[in-house]
Structure 1
Amino acid sequence: MCGIVGAVAQRNIVPVLVEGLRRLEYRGYDSCGVAVLGAEGPRRVRGTERVADLDAQTQEMHFEGVTGISHTRWATHGAPTIDNAHPIFSNNALAIVHNGIIENYESLRDALRAKGYQFASQTDTEVIAHLIHSLYRGDLFAAVQGAVRELHGAYAIAVIHKDQPHTVVGARAGSPLVVGYGKGENFLASDALAVAGNTDRFAYLEEGDVCEITLDGVRIADRDGHAAQRAVHAVQAYGGAVELGPYRHYMQKEIFEQPRAIGDTIPAADPFGADLFGANAREVFDGIDSLLILACGTSYYAGLTAKYWIESIAKIRTDVEIASEYRYRDSVPNPRSLVVTISQSGETADTIAALKHAQSLGMKHTLAVCNVATSAMVQLTELKFLTHAGREIGVASTKAFTTQLVALFILAVTLGKLRGHVSDAQEAEYQKLLRHLPAALNGVLALEPQIIAWADEFARKENALFLGRGLHYPIALEGALKLKEISYIHAEAYPAGELKHGPLALVTEAMPVVTVAPNDALLEKLKSNMQEVRARGGKLYVFADADSHIVSDDGIQVIRMPEHYGLLSPILHVVPLQLLAYHTACKRGTDVDKPRNLAKSVTVE
């Protein structure tokens, strides 16, 4: 959720540290800062504006150094103020940056106060700084090793000390940290993307590792303190600036990249071959009798959609759990269940923790649907399917979601095919639908001008309801989430049949009701629900298929989709909801790509 960059070099490293933050800013932008070692100890520049402002400050101050650390923050403990911004100091001798949450920080803080340490921030990070300082005896590596043994929770840290001017020490547990191997210089970062272009050789630290980077090399110890070697990979992490081109925001650009992203995600050859998920996938799939899907946020809605597909096509019982809840309740484990985790980044802390919990209960068959091949989640699962959404910068997920849906549809048909529930003719039809999907999406994107006209009305509202039925109820949920994420309009979604069981009390002429209305088996039921809204003076905004016979009238506005798309209709119907949220947010003047209080990769609980 936050971003870390550290470096040791023989050149001024501040531009590298700041550029690394720029690339990671979408992960947290409440505050940011950079610290370098000088003759008198660490020096820092911090701010509560964006990285561009930090860059301007460092240039104006001629802020330079050859050893340093930097951080962009998503606030957990303590408000986004200068005092709480990282890097955090201890006694003007040590500086630290930290991702994650320390669960026992209060007891550690009390013990450190008893030793005379004073706290200048509200952060749990300052506890780590003072703890390491209290253990320092001339060896920063040893002090960090001692400190992390006392920490409970998740962390990735990078630390510098005035007495070791060419050293950065890092450690990780529950949050990612990578080492970048350069020539006469070395790097630490929470993502290889941060220092791509300075090196393409990376090692991914494992749980509990402590590492030390110097000009001459890298030293790593595992959680037991034993010297460890971690495989060095050549990773072509794209580090260049992503151009907006003709688009106003990255979110808009990523909405329009969906035809390409989906085309890249659909396998070129047989799209329903078990080997797409791993060499032993056929054996695993033959041995399962159910699925358990674990995910958060938008990915959770992808999982809810997949439940309809898998149970309909493959006839396999499928449960979908919110990952942040699953590990904290008593559940009934099934060793024959396939545990499917869904995450754009593959670093979502709640989902990784839920996966580990399921594994601890004896559920060994696991599959990750993920957009990042080098992520922690992909390393933890037996099987994987990589989406090809490309880099998604906008915090509100768009192309990552639709490529997840494609991956999950492929899983559903593959399982159905293996179980004999998909005939050759059905398989050919599903394949035809998939291949045509990018072109169909282009037709939906052409509706943007009509959606902009709706956004003019929505921008003046403070509440909205979204309705869907069956396969499209999760799409209504996703549409409501998008609207609230970036426009700050309160929005909720319901299965349309639930209107009369409570939500209808909210319907007035001031409450817009967005309805997803494909021409499927539930259309007539949905039309009845829409009449319930009209009878109470509500105003309907309907995305209807061309042959659904729903027309604009008093109290109802209709945008007609180019074509009905059967089981893959959710992928088409979510796109206009993305555009509606985007253009409404633009009309309201919000920060579309970096909405308040949110971050892209949620690496804390």
Structure 2
Amino acid sequence: MCGIVCVLGNESVAMPLVDALRRLEYRGYDSAGIATLEGGAIVRRRAEGKLVNLEAKLGQAPLKGTSGIGHTRWATHGRPTEDNAHPHATERVAVVHNGIIENFRELRDELSADGADFQSETDSEVIAHFVTRELERGLSPIEAVQACLTRIRGAFSLGFLFAGEDDLIIGARLGPPLAVGYGNGAMFLGSDAIALGPLTNTFAYLEDGDSVVITRSTATIYDSEFNQVERPIQKAEISAAIVEKGNYRHFMAKEIHEQPEVISHTLASLVDMTSETVRLPSLPFDWKNLSRLTISACGTASFAGQVAKYWFERYARLPVEVDIASEFRYREAPLEKGGLSLFVSQSGETADTMAALRYCQENGQHTLAVVNVPTSTMSREADAMVRTLAGPEIGVASTKAFTCQLAVLACLAIGAGKARGTLTPEAEKELVRALIEAPRLMAEALRLDHEIEACARDLSKAKDVLYLGRGTSFPLALEGALKLKEISYIHAEGYAAGELKHGPIALIDESMPVVVIAPFDAIFEKTVSNMQEVAARGGRIILITDEEGAKAAALPGAKTIVMPAMPSVVSPLVYSVPIQLLAYHTAVLIGADVDQPRNLAKSVTVE
């Protein structure tokens, strides 16, 4: 979950490294550091905390080298201190590492016995000392790194800088992603294209097990057996402007407000607006032959999967099982050969979801990935991929990626229903017509921003918050609670509204806000009964509904966010907007760091 960047340039690389790390800070912000070569010697600057602290150090003591590596850290082994900050270095080599070295204790003991002097609590430092030992035994830098790669176990992406080697950087990956950037007389290595966007738009993505030796003019890639291989070089769509906040105070606010546009793009890739039909890409399986669909994901993406369960079962009459990816593979689920497993991930690099995908492939399943990054490991390894067109999402709390996932999953469910004969052409048109209206409806929901901010003032004073919903609003309740926890640090829980009296009602008193997500639909009356149970016990209700629902509820004292009327199929997309804004404004009111909440990172690339 850390971010790494390496540059072989023609001028001082310190500021380009820092700028690239700023674009990677969503991956971790416990500490940061860079190392460059000056006169052939490795020189480092590291700082605890966010990147501004490193910038302050560089302001006092600049670095001038034209070759360098940088790192922004999400702490795993060792506290977030300067000593534990990367790059880790000896006199011979400096290394930056994203991932976990599982056998680091064994290697640390071995290296200590050989005289290594460890300065940190991290697992990463063993890599620097291991490579140093091999260099001192007479191996070349390439041979020393290869020797290290044969010994370390775990998940990693690595960047190496060597004393006296001004035109050499070596990288490697096993698990977390790593991209090679091609410049004009310069070369780059980074955790993703976002980091390197202003420096180049030409990349090669390392496959799992690859290593790379780069100079200012070449990149030589080796596979896991150290055989030289070629990887496709491609142009990236990323641009520097995309990752700026613009006129917004936070990336999260910008990304919430981008949703009508990115949903339009996503739907346009899957829907024929003229004929009002779903237009799915060619898929290597037949929906008619499936007896079950398995969906696996983590965090917010898993809630998108839970919404999709309702859609697939209702519109395609296809039984669906939704699993948290981190649990799925460990329970050794029996899978029917020839079945379909679907995986949802913003980054396409989520370690637990990748492991679940590989487990399903080993058990004879077709695999389909819904991802935002088409060059990601997941999109390459799955049998098929459907892309969400959310663009880069920098805020740690997922917003536009979530709603784009919902848009894709809705289209897949409709397409499955059409293929299985459970949706008539008229029903398909009705559903697609509703999806086409979603961007407009989301724009209307965004105009409620000030009303939602007023409701957030109530939440900002609470210690605990309950979210309730039925049907597809139940996963939204889970997502709303997660958003509030993530960025405001207020304890919140989401429940199916019908479960209220099976336990959670014991928590209700005058100090407990209860957010109820309840569009006026076939099950609205059931949810009203739950709201009355809350009101009878003094709970402070924030009701998110439409005009008909507001009239039908008529609960005195409840604060109501009145949404536009809409077909039920699009309510999960549109009702996501107020729950995102509610969490956002609550976090802003209490002064929390909205874009970089404590202890979290955007892309969880290690288990």
TM-score bracket, normalised by the shorter chain, equals over 0.9
1:15 equivalent to 2:10? Answer no
What secondary structure, in the 3-state scheme, does the structure 1 residue paired with 2:7 have? strand
The CA deviation at 1:7 is 1.6
**Correspondence 1:102-141 to 2 at 5 A:** 102-136=101-135, 137-141=138-142
Cα distance in 1 for partners of 2:499, 2:97 equals 45
Structure 2 residue aligned with 1:49 = 49
Contact 1:551–1:557 under 8 Å retained in 2: no
Mean Cα displacement is larger for which, 127-136 or 504-513? 127-136
The CA deviation at 1:95 is 0.6
Cα distance in 2 for partners of 1:473, 1:236 equals 36
Structure 2 residue aligned with 1:569 = 571
Contact 1:480–1:492 under 8 Å retained in 2: yes
The CA deviation at 1:591 is 0.6
What letter corresponds to residue 107 of structure 1 in structure 2?
E
CA RMSD of aligned residues (A): 1.7
Structure 2 residue aligned with 1:349 = 351
- Give the TM-score of the pair, scaled to structure 1: 0.96
Contact 1:38–1:162 under 8 Å retained in 2: no
What secondary structure, in the 3-state scheme, does the structure 1 residue paired with 2:81 have? coil
**Correspondence 1:185-204 to 2 at 5 A:** 185-204=186-205
Q: Deviations over 1:144-187 (max 9, x none)?
A: 11111111110000011214232111111011111112222211
Contact 2:202–2:236 under 8 Å retained in 1: yes
The CA deviation at 1:552 is 5.1
What letter corresponds to residue 356 of structure 1 in structure 2?
R
The one of 273, 276, 283 equivalent to 2:280 is: 276
Cα distance in 2 for partners of 1:77, 1:468 equals 39
Contact 2:178–2:189 under 8 Å retained in 1: yes
Structure 2 residue aligned with 1:406 = 407
**Correspondence 1:504-523 to 2 at 5 A:** 504-523=505-524
Structure 2 residue aligned with 1:376 = 377
The CA deviation at 1:565 is 2.6
The CA deviation at 1:553 is 4.0
- In structure 2, runs of 5+ residues without a counterpart are none
Change (3 A) 1:366 1:241: closer
Change (3 A) 1:334 1:572: same
What secondary structure, in the 3-state scheme, does the structure 2 residue paired with 1:327 have? helix
What secondary structure, in the 3-state scheme, does the structure 1 residue paired with 2:262 have? helix
**Correspondence 1:271-420 to 2 at 5 A:** 276-277=280-281, 279-281=282-284, 283-363=285-365, 365-420=366-421
Structure 2 residue aligned with 1:585 = 587
How many residues get paired?
A: 601
Contact 2:272–2:278 under 8 Å retained in 1: no
Identity %: 47
What letter corresponds to residue 23 of structure 2 in structure 1?
R
Structure 2 residue aligned with 1:205 = 206
Structure 2 residue aligned with 1:4 = 4
What letter corresponds to residue 34 of structure 2 in structure 1?
V
What letter corresponds to residue 276 of structure 1 in structure 2?
L
Mean Cα displacement is larger for which, 241-250 or 466-475? 241-250
What secondary structure, in the 3-state scheme, does the structure 2 residue paired with 1:315 have? coil
Change (3 A) 1:154 1:519: same
Cα distance in 2 for partners of 1:494, 1:418 equals 34
- In structure 1, runs of 5+ residues without a counterpart are none
- Give the TM-score of the pair, scaled to structure 2: 0.96
Change (3 A) 1:233 1:273: farther
Cα distance in 2 for partners of 1:218, 1:384 equals 28
Cα distance in 2 for partners of 1:156, 1:150 equals 15
Change (3 A) 1:573 1:45: same
Contact 1:35–1:42 under 8 Å retained in 2: yes
**Correspondence 1:448-487 to 2 at 5 A:** 448-487=449-488
Q: Deviations over 1:59-81 (max 9, x none)?
A: 44231111110011111111111
Q: Deviations over 1:279-338 (max 9, x none)?
A: 344x44344322111100000000000000000000011111101111111211122321
Contact 1:265–1:389 under 8 Å retained in 2: yes
What letter corresponds to residue 27 of structure 1 in structure 2?
R
The CA deviation at 1:39 is 2.6
Q: Deviations over 1:551-601 (max 9, x none)?
A: 554442222212133122111212111111111111100011111111111
Q: Deviations over 1:327-352 (max 9, x none)?
A: 11121112232111111111111111
Cα distance in 2 for partners of 1:284, 1:362 equals 15
What letter corresponds to residue 50 of structure 1 in structure 2?
K
What letter corresponds to residue 49 of structure 1 in structure 2?
G
What secondary structure, in the 3-state scheme, does the structure 2 residue paired with 1:101 have? strand
Cα distance in 1 for partners of 2:181, 2:110 equals 36
What secondary structure, in the 3-state scheme, does the structure 1 residue paired with 2:314 have? helix
Change (3 A) 1:569 1:216: closer
Cα distance in 2 for partners of 1:602, 1:39 equals 37
What secondary structure, in the 3-state scheme, does the structure 2 residue paired with 1:393 have? coil
Structure 2 residue aligned with 1:218 = 219
Cα distance in 2 for partners of 1:240, 1:534 equals 48
The CA deviation at 1:274 is 7.5
Q: Deviations over 1:428-482 (max 9, x none)?
A: 1111101111111111112112111111111111110000111110000000001
Cα distance in 2 for partners of 1:541, 1:195 equals 43
Structure 2 residue aligned with 1:603 = 605
Mean Cα displacement is larger for which, 241-250 or 382-391? 241-250
Structure 2 residue aligned with 1:95 = 94
Structure 2 residue aligned with 1:35 = 35
Contact 2:316–2:420 under 8 Å retained in 1: yes
Structure 2 residue aligned with 1:429 = 430
Change (3 A) 1:520 1:273: closer
Cα distance in 2 for partners of 1:373, 1:553 equals 47
Mean Cα displacement is larger for which, 177-186 or 255-264? 177-186
The CA deviation at 1:493 is 0.7
Cα distance in 2 for partners of 1:306, 1:81 equals 42
Q: Deviations over 1:119-141 (max 9, x none)?
A: 21111101111111122224111
Structure 2 residue aligned with 1:594 = 596
Cα distance in 2 for partners of 1:42, 1:30 equals 23
Change (3 A) 1:274 1:110: farther
What secondary structure, in the 3-state scheme, does the structure 1 residue paired with 2:101 have? coil
What secondary structure, in the 3-state scheme, does the structure 2 residue paired with 1:604 have? coil
What secondary structure, in the 3-state scheme, does the structure 2 residue paired with 1:586 have? helix
Cα distance in 2 for partners of 1:314, 1:176 equals 35
Structure 1 residue aligned with 2:65 = 65
Contact 2:338–2:364 under 8 Å retained in 1: no
What letter corresponds to residue 233 of structure 1 in structure 2?
Q
Cα distance in 2 for partners of 1:67, 1:603 equals 27
The CA deviation at 1:379 is 0.5
Structure 1 residue aligned with 2:83 = 83
